[in-house]
Structure 1
Amino acid sequence: MVLFQHFGLEAKPIFKHFDLSDFNYPPHLHRAFEIIFVKRGQLHVQIEKQTYSVNKQQFAVVFPNQIHGFNMLPNSTATIVLFSPEIIGAFNEQYHDLVPENPVIFDNHPLDFDGATNIFAIKGLLYTLCSKIVEQTTFIPQKTSEKLSIVHEIIDYINNHYTHECTLQLASTAIGYDYVYLSKLFQKTMDISFTKYLNRFRISKARQLLKNTDEPITQIAFNVGYANLRTFNRNFKLLNEISPADYRKTDQTTTYGKAIQENYISG
């Protein structure tokens, strides 16, 4: 599943960084660069249709409009850095329409983003990362298509309507494209059907609510768009191998603050 986020579209360039622990985030995309540093443990990051293992003293780099998601192993922590292409204008101009052939970069000296208190310090740190990327990987053309913008619209529709009735038929009416065409396009682009994607999206949201709220499981099921608790329980167990109740009791944690929830999770 993919979440469409609006990073990089703000009136002013953005720069955000925060830590996440024992956190899984479904495939998503946005128009900002994203750096994922592993501070402890290991994570698996999916970029487009490839999956990479990222260990301590490594980071993964995601270029704008690349579909990506990640899964952290237990007892893992990562720093997420998000920033607009404009902040590294020279790099972005030179490598526009290109992506790293190998997005996993070694870094034995993690940078101190907390100490970057002005735009010049931020640019200095980010260009240091750019240098490490250029030194350690080659670049290949990024696959682009006008059809991708249509997939963006479908994703945006799901992100705004998953809590209620949400079908591809309704999405096709809302964005003005033929249902059959959208069904084939989404499956071909995302390698997953609209229905499966929507289900995984809703279950991912449910995992966050189970770990970060005290709401009853029935209410959580309704909050993420399920009208039937039995269906929610079945789908949750199918994707997580345990029931929602057992998942809530596990030691696995999903840690993020209010700012992260507003600026990253919800996009």
Structure 2
Amino acid sequence: MSVLKPLIIKEFDHQEDHFRINYVQRNGRSDSCDYHFHDNYELYYLLAGQRKYFIRDRIHLVQKGDMVFIPKHDLHRTRDAGPYHERMLIYFDDAFLETIAGPGNQISPHLLQPFRNNNPVLRLQKEDRRFVDVLFYRILKELEEKPVDYQLYLKALFIELLVYVSRCTEKYVEVEVNAPLDTPTQKKISEIANYIQENYEKSLTLAYLSKQFYISTYYLSRVFKEVSGFSFVEYLNNVRIIESQRLLRETNLPIFQISEQVGFVNTTNFGRVFKQVVHLSPLQYRRMQQATN
């Protein structure tokens, strides 16, 4: 039996150094192509529909008008919560912010506050949502029509957006804007994911975790995948690789020692998994980071 692929109704992608905007309107069920993490910030805005968003160790139900802030190096993935959705993704890094600030100037720490909050999902109140909707539809119009100097205007609109939502997060500080999903099963998987985040260096197996959390191995394997979108091994390996990247960037430890510290049995296996996830060897990644710093 053939499986119908989701229909992409409309899509735009604008990419330049340190800054990218991707818009898609899709009909039909779809999960994001893969789990991932990256060296830049990601801002996700849902213009229509619903999605489930797994971020680090929690799953959130994202609704129309919600904004999601993904910090650098946080593991995440979106999943279906309905047959239709329309969303915009904006990626940027510290170098982009430095070009906006200008030589010798520092970016206000408030500008990145939404990416530092414990809750990554901001549910805008009606008045703020109207304002933000206008900004996003202006961005979409620039992507569609590409008038003269549209690249510059896209950046200006994004900076206006970033300033506005950073003010919103301060204004909403006393408001519970969007709690993670908390069915018993989802809470249990979040507990397990958090345990993996805190104990990745140990020799973790499904059998070990099933004993720790009083769940059968089969049930844990199946439900972890259903809830998070990751298999247990995928999640564990990615948590370990994220930490190994930090050690490669911030220390001079030899690669074999980093491999041991993040929980891999041997350096060969570490190198294979690292390249599978990052598409570079650990040494290539370290050299690339050194060249850009």
Q: Among residues 155, 160, 177, which one is paired with 1:108 in the alignment?
A: 160
- For the residues of structure 2 that align with 1:201 and 1:107, how far apart are their CA atoms? 31
- After the TM superposition, which parts of structure 1 deviate over 6 Å for at least 4 consecutive aligned residues? 31-35, 122-125, 252-255
Letter of the 1:235 counterpart: V
Contact 1:217 1:244 in 2 (8 A): yes
**2:78 aligned partner, one-letter code:** E
Quote the residue 1:126 is aligned against: 170
> Which amino acid in structure 2 is aligned with residue 221 of structure 1?
S
Larger Rg: 1 or 2?
Answer: 2
Q: CA deviation at 1:240?
A: 1.3
Q: Match of 1:49? A: 79
* Shift of residue 170, structure 1, vs aligned partner: 0.6
Q: Contact 1:153 / 1:175 at 8 angstroms: preserved in 2?
A: no
Give the aligned partner of residue 242 of structure 2: 204
Which residue is 1:231 aligned to? 269
1:176-209, CA deviations, whole angstroms, 9 ceiling, x for partnerless residues? 1111111110011112210111111111111111
Q: Which has the higher helix share?
A: 2
Please name the residue that 1:170 is paired with. Answer: 208
Ranges in structure 2 where 5+ consecutive residues have no aligned partner:
1-37, 43-53, 61-65, 81-86, 98-110, 127-132, 137-157
Amino acid corresponding to residue 54 of structure 1 in structure 2: I
Aligned to 2:254: 216
Task: Structure 1: state its 5+ residue gaps.
Answer: 1-20, 56-71, 96-101, 114-121, 256-267
Residue 263 of structure 1 corresponds to none
TM-aligned CA distance change 1:226 to 1:143, over 3 Å: closer
**How far does residue 80 in structure 1 lie from its aligned partner after superposition?**
4.0
Asked if the contact 1:37–1:79 (Cα under 8 Å) also holds between the matched residues in 2, the reply is no
Say how many residue pairs are matched.
187
Q: Please provide the CA RMSD for this pair.
A: 4.9
* TM-score of the pair, normalised by structure 1: 0.53
- 8 Å Cα contact 2:201/2:263 also seen in 1: yes
Contact 1:221–1:229 (CA<8 Å) still a contact in 2?
A: yes
Q: Match of 1:58?
A: none
Return the alpha-carbon distance in structure 2 between the equivalents of residues 84 and 198 of structure 1.
Answer: 22
- Superposed, which structure 2 residues align to 1:1-267 within 5 Å? 22-23=39-40, 27-29=55-57, 36=69, 48-49=78-79, 52-54=88-90, 75-77=95-97, 79-81=112-114, 82-83=116-117, 108=160, 110-111=162-163, 126-127=170-171, 144-251=182-289
Does structure 1 retain, via aligned residues, the 8 Å contact 2:113–2:169?
Answer: no
Could you tell me the percent identity over the aligned residues?
Answer: 23
